[in-house]
Every structure is written in structure tokens, then in C-alpha cells.
């Protein structure tokens, strides 16, 4: 039976909860601050996991170079995304991106602090948006494979967009010198990324399969990996790690004894180290430094201390003055070439139009008008500045580069004599698969990277030059070519075709490196496959994302999982809803004659009743949920709006949920308590007052 004071009990309970909410709006889940607090509390574990994963992945790259940590990044991200909603997935990916890109790109602070902030933030936002796609893949049974493909697809997007892409932070580029690097020769950098990400996602699957284990912050009812899957997942982890290191057991594309060799020299002339970027731009001194270093090499050759090189390589920006327009610079380059007695590749800034180029100079004849490579991929906001008219109002960087460079449009193999067919890429271009591959397929049997790292090392950081050197080492393995790295300030290096460092200089010093390297003409599997492995992986990943979206909708009425009762969507709120019966004075006799109301009263008795276990803040949450249910019940014809106190109980089954946006019931039985009025729903007689499904 319903007590006479039932209505007053309900009213009193709601008033008390309302007073408590007014006193502490942060704890009121119906307020904006309360919803934010609940969201942060629920996502605290996944966000911390994403933060740790981003930092671990950043440590896998130079200057730290802890390459075994690379799979832990994908593992942590998959665990953090498991069970997350759309907005939570976006936020989780954003946190991972911030933790990864800000340390990885910290060297850009030498240009300007806002350049670092803008570049790292842009990459983090792009990564966060793309992370939503990985969340869809977690709906699949074979999601570790899908997640591995997602990393390739995400890198493919970042390599191409925006403004031509920014290829820093690819998983493959952390594996220079590691047992896994051989995959680059088999399928290129995308396949190497795939196997590293597969090892990480398989590890995440194993963690999810621990008995009773589930990702931090995941709902209690989320799939937790049953015991019978544990062995299978463990085998998958072992197989993925074994697959990643398989190339170390083989000699891929070995150097043949019949391959020709050549003696090469890389000149690192050094630049004046100034406290500001403008102070370092002393063009005449930079060229003079490289001339002096080359003359010292010539003296060593004449004294028999060093072999005569067949090719000398100067770095990018070894002269920022067009030699054809300045007699002094022209004379310095001619003297250096004639004295050393070998062709010299100089990094020049050429005019009419403005270009960043590498030009061959020959002893006795000077510069060759045809043996010139023009840089094809220009650095955004460096060599070419988008939104120049806007940026010149807020930053002085546009004054340092008042005119945009003009990009080259073709691969160019430089013929330096004695069988040397040189493929040149300049600085930033070493990160792009297609640019390096095009030089090899055009016939290059030796590769060089000309670079100027002085801009990014003024504060002593070596991240940028170390990351570029790692890319050059991986390119050597990918294309089975020796690579000569010439830098203004270091690191300069000579890299063997298997990725080993034949020699390497330090930073901020003058140095000359010499080494004998093979001139290899055959192509690797990666060269022959071209970009097709990446295209296939991306296409299959997109198909898998669509399948994951459809599977999520079919199982959970939404691609990102269930929207459960209450404003926050946490399943633990269901306990609060059940406890509302006691908080509101209890469910009374429902006049159905089944005795269920009396049994509920007996179960609620005493200090251990559900009402006693529900705190005031939780009752407020439950009140909010019940208010939603009451409004929906009136809308769907279960209740009359007049004379109704509220819904006494919602009997929830394991598969039941309320979608917050659409407020829909699924396999739910709603028992209604009315102060007055007929015992049949508004829908009319004969429909039954005990239960109704919607």
C-alpha cells in the first residue's frame, strides 16, 4: 500500500537534493560544471594512459633513440580508446598527440616559441581527429590488425596534408639501426610502421585479456577478454614481435663483390653560432668556412694523409648568395673545386626565380648549367609562407623570408663522373617516400642529403638533426644505397647501404668525413612495389573502419558503444537509479497483486537499505535521470501530465540502456506510480498498466 505521505516524501527529497546542488554546483551533474567534473573523473585513467603513451613514443625517437619503446605508444593509445565515445575518443587522441608532438618537435622553439606551439598543436589536433577512426576499428574482432593499419593511414594523411604534409614522427623512422629496419627494404616505411604498430596493438589485446582486466575507465560491462582468449592473445604477441624482427635473420639485398665503389667526402664547414636567428645569417662567413675546410682536405690529400675523393659534397645553404651574381662567392667555389681536384656539389640559393638548389662544380670548368637539382618539397612557413599578408602583421618571421621560394618539379640524377650517378634530396625532403624513391628509380646509384640544421640547434638541441640522420639511415636500408649526409653544423655522416654509420661528425664544429661506398644499381622490393603497399593498407583500413562503424551500430545502437542511463553515461549510475526507490520513500504497492511491491519493502528495510547507501549527490543524479524518464513517459503516452508525482522504478536488464539524446527504452519494464487518475495508460483501455515496451 502507498503511504499517505508519499507525495510529500518525494517532494522533500527533491528539494533537499536541489538545495545541496545549489550549494555546490560543481558536484551537481545537472550543471555544466558538474558534467565536466563527471567527465574528467570518468576519463582520468584513459587520459593518463594516453599521456604516458605519447611520452613513451616520443622517447623512441632521437635524441633519446629508445627504439624498443615504439610499440608501447600504439598499445597505450588502443587501451585508452577502448570503450570511449566520440568526444572522449577525440579528447584521448588529442592528449596523446600533445604528449607526443610537443617533445618530438621541441627543436622548433629555436625559430620562435609560437612556431613550436603552432606546429605541435596542429599535429596534435590532426592526430586527435584521426584517433576517432581508430575507435571505430576497436569494434571489430580482429581489431589489432585494423589498429596497425590505422597507424599507416594516419601517417599517410599527415605526410600529405596540410601544405604538402609534415612527415615527422612516423613509427618507421624510430627504427634506424633496430632489428626491425629490414622491413623498409621489403615494403618501404609504411610496412615497417605496420609491423611496429601490430606488435603494439597485439600487446594491448593481451592486456585486455587478463582475467577480470579491462582498460582503465572502461565501463564494468565492457568486454574484458575471457580466460580462454588469453593464450591466443599471448601467441599473437609473440608472433607479432617475431614477425617484426624476422628481417634481422636475413641479409637483404647484399652488396655484390662486383659492385663498383667510390671515395666520397662530406664537408661540414660550421656557421657562426649566434644568440638569435638573424645573428647566424652571415652568408659570406659560411661560404668561407666551407672553402677553408675543403682546402684543408686538399692539403691532406697532397700530404698523403687522406685518399683523393671522387666527389665532395657541401651542405644546403653552404652559400646563400647566388654564385652567378657574386664574383667573390664564384671565386671561392672555383678555387675549392680546383684545389681538391674533384667534382663538388654545392648547396646554393639561386635567383631568378628564387630556388634552393644543389649544383655540381667541376675542376677547371666551374659550375655545370645542366647538373642542377632544385628542391621540390618546400618547408611551409619557412621557404614558402602561407597566409603571408596575415602573418606579416603578427610575426617578424616573414621579414626573414620576404619572398617565397620556387619549387622544382622533376627528379634529377647528377652525373659526377667515374660512374657516379647521384640522387640528391635537400633537408626536409628526406622524410618523403616518393621523393627519395624517384631518385633511385631514375637511376641513382648513390644518395645524398644536403641539410642546414643551424637554425634548429642554437639552444643545443640535437633532436632535429638526429631525427633527420635516422631518416637517412632508414632510406639507405629501404633503397640499398649508400647515403652521404652533409650538414652545415652536424650531424654529417656517411651511411652504408645496410644503415650502418661509416662515420659521423659532432655538432657545432668544422669537420670533413671521408669514406669508400659502393655504387649499387639493383633495386629493392620496396623500390619495385612503389607506393602500392601503402595504398593497399590504407584502403583496407578504410573498409575496416566502415565495418567497425556498422558493427557498432548493429550491436550498440551507435558506432561508439552504448549510451547508458544518466547524463554521464556511466553504467555505475544504474545503481543510483535502483537506490532511488529508497531515497524517495520506496516503491509502494503497484496494485498488481503480484506481491512485488511488498517484497521490495522487505528488501529495503534497515540501515543497509539502498537508500542509506546512496549519497545525496548520487540521488541528485538519479533525480535527473528520473526526470528525463518521466518527461519521455508523458511524451510516449504512459502518463498524464497532471496529478503525476514521478516514476517510482525502472526495472533495468543487462541489455537495457537509455540513449541520452533520443531517450529510448530497450527491453525495459516501467512501473508507474500515480497519485490519482485511471489505472490505464493514456493510450486507452486494454493496453495494460503493469508494463509496456518501447
Catalytic residues: 316, 375, 427
Phi-psi bin for 87: left (phi > 0), alpha (psi -120 to 50), beta? alpha
For residue 133, give the DSSP letter: H
Q: Which helix (H) or strand (E) holds 688?
A: none
| Other CB atoms within 10 Å distance of the CB of residue 402 | 10
Task: Compute the distance between CA of residue 358 and CA of residue 381 in angstroms, rounded to an integer.
Answer: 21
313 forms beta bridges with 266, 345
Task: Compute the distance between CA of residue 122 and CA of residue 162 in angstroms, rounded to an integer.
Answer: 10
SS (H, E, C) 500-515: CEEEECCCCCCEEEEE
Q: Residues near 80 by Cβ (< 8 Å), separated by ≥ 6?
A: 46, 47, 49, 50, 53, 92, 96, 215, 216
DSSP string, 529-540: HTTHHHHHHHHH
Instruction: Quote the cell numbers at residue 241.
Output: 614481435
SS (H, E, C) 44-94: HHHHHHHHHHHHHHHHCCCCCCCHHHCCHHHHHHHHHHCCCCHHHHHHHHH
For residue 323, give the DSSP letter: G
Residue 635 CA, chain-centre distance (Å), reads 45
Q: Which helix (H) or strand (E) holds 330?
A: helix 327-340
Burial class (CB in 10 A: 0-12, 13-18, 19+), 365: exposed
Phi-psi bin for 223: left (phi > 0), alpha (psi -120 to 50), beta? beta
Q: Residues near 205 by Cβ (< 8 Å), separated by ≥ 6?
A: 78, 143, 144, 225, 233, 236, 237
Cβ atoms of 315 and 309 closer than 8 Å: no
Task: Compute the distance between CA of residue 343 and CA of residue 362 in angstroms, rounded to an integer.
Answer: 5
Half-sphere CA count of 519, side-chain side, radius 13 A: 19
Cβ atoms of 112 and 399 closer than 8 Å: no
Amino acid at each position: 500500500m502507498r503511504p499517505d505521505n508519499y507525495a510529500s516524501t518525494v517532494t522533500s527529497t527533491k528539494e533537499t537534493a536541489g538545495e545541496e546542488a545549489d550549494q555546490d554546483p560543481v558536484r551537481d551533474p545537472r550543471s555544466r560544471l558538474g558534467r565536466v567534473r563527471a567527465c574528467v573523473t570518468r576519463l582520468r585513467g584513459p587520459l593518463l594512459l594516453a599521456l604516458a603513451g605519447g611520452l613513451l613514443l616520443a622517447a623512441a625517437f632521437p635524441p633519446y633513440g629508445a627504439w624498443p619503446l615504439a610499440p608501447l605508444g600504439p598499445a597505450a593509445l588502443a587501451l585508452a580508446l577502448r570503450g570511449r565515445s566520440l568526444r572522449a575518443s577525440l579528447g584521448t587522441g588529442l592528449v596523446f598527440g600533445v604528449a607526443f608532438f610537443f617533445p618530438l618537435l621541441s627543436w622548433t622553439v629555436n625559430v620562435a616559441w609560437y612556431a613550436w606551439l603552432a606546429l605541435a598543436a596542429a599535429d596534435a589536433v590532426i592526430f586527435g581527429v584521426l584517433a576517432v577512426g581508430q575507435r571505430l576499428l576497436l569494434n571489430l574482432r580482429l581489431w589489432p590488425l585494423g589498429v596497425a593499419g590505422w597507424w599507416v593511414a594516419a601517417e599517410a594523411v599527415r605526410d600529405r596534408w596540410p601544405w604538402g604534409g609534415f612527415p615527422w614522427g612516423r613509427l618507421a623512422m624510430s627504427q634506424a639501426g633496430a632489428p626491425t629496419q629490414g622491413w623498409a627494404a621489403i615494403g618501404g616505411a609504411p610496412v615497417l610502421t605496420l609491423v611496429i604498430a601490430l606488435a603494439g596493438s597485439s600487446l594491448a589485446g593481451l592486456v585486455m585479456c587478463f582475467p577480470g582486466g579491462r582498460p582503465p575507465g572502461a565501463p564494468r560491462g565492457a568486454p574484458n577478454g575471457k580466460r580462454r582468449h588469453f593464450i591466443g592473445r599471448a601467441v599473437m604477441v609473440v608472433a607479432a614481435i617475431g614477425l617484426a624482427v624476422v628481417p634481422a635473420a636475413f641479409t637483404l639485398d647484399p652488396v655484390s663483390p662486383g659492385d663498383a665503389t667510390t671515395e666520397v667526402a662530406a664537408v661540414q664547414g660550421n656557421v657562426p653560432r649566434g644568440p638569435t636567428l638573424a645573428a647566424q645569417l652571415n652568408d659570406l662567413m659560411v661560404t668561407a668556412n666551407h672553402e677553408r675546410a675543403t682546402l684543408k682536405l686538399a692539403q691532406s690529400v697532397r700530404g698523403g694523409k687522406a685518399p683523393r675523393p671522387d666527389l665532395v659534397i657541401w651542405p644546403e645553404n653552404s652559400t646563400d648568395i647566388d654564385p652567378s651574381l657574386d664574383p667573390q662567392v664564384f671565386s671561392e667555389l672555383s678555387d675549392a673545386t680546383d684545389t681538391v681536384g674533384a667534382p663538388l656539389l654545392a648547396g646554393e640559393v639561386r635567383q631568378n626565380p628564387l630556388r634552393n638548389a644543389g649544383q655540381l662544380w667541376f675542376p677547371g670548368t666551374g659550375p655545370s648549367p645542366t647538373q642542377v637539382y632544385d628542391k621540390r618539397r618546400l618547408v611551409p612557413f619557412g621557404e614558402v609562407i602561407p597566409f603571408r599578408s596575415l602573418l606579416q602583421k603578427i610575426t617578424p618571421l616573414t621579414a626573414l623570408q620576404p619572398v617565397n621560394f620556387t619549387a622544382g618539379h622533376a627528379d634529377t640524377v647528377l652525373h659526377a663522373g667515374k660512374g657516379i650517378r647521384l640522387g640528391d634530396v635537400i633537408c626536409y625532403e628526406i622524410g618523403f617516400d616518393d621523393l627519395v624513391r624517384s631518385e633511385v628509380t631514375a637511376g641513382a646509384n648513390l644518395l645524398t642529403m644536403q641539410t642546414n640544421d643551424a637554425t634548429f640547434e642554437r639552444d643545443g638541441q640535437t633532436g632535429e638533426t638526429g631525427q633527420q640522420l635516422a631518416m637517412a639511415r632508414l632510406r639507405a636500408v629501404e633503397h640499398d644505397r649508400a647515403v652521404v649526409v652533409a650538414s652545415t653544423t652536424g650531424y654529417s655522416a656517411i651511411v652504408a647501404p645496410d644503415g650502418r654509420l661509416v662515420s659521423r661528425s659532432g655538432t657545432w664544429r668544422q669537420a670533413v668525413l671521408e669514406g669508400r661506398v659502393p655504387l649499387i644499381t639493383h633495386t629493392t622490393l620496396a623500390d619495385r612495389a612503389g607506393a602500392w603497399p601503402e595504398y593497399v593498407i590504407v584502403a583496407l583500413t578504410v573498409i575496416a573502419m566502415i565495418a567497425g562503424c556498422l558493427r557498432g551500430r548493429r550491436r550498440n545502437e551507435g558506432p561508439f558503444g552504448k549510451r547508458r542511463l544518466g547524463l554521464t553515461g556511466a553504467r555505475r549510475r544504474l545503481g543510483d537509479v535502483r537506490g532511488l526507490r529508497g531515497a524517495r520513500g520506496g516503491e509502494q504497492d503497484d496494485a498488481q497483486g503480484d506481491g512485488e511491491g511488498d517484497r521490495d519493502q522487505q528488501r529495503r528495510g534497515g540501515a543497509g537499505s539502498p537508500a542509506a547507501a546512496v549519497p545525496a549527490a548520487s540521488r541528485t543524479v538519479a533525480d535527473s535521470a528520473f526526470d528525463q524518464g518521466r518527461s519521455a513517459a508523458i511524451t510516449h503516452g504512459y502518463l498524464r501530465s497532471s496529478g503525476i508525482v514521478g516514476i517510482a522504478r525502472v526495472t533495468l536488464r543487462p541489455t537495457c540502456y537509455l540513449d541520452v539524446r533520443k531517450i529510448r527504452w530497450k527491453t525495459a519494464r516501467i512501473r508507474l506510480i500515480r497519485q490519482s487518475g485511471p489505472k490505464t495508460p493514456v493510450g486507452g483501455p486494454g493496453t495494460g498498466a503493469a508494463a509496456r515496451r518501447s
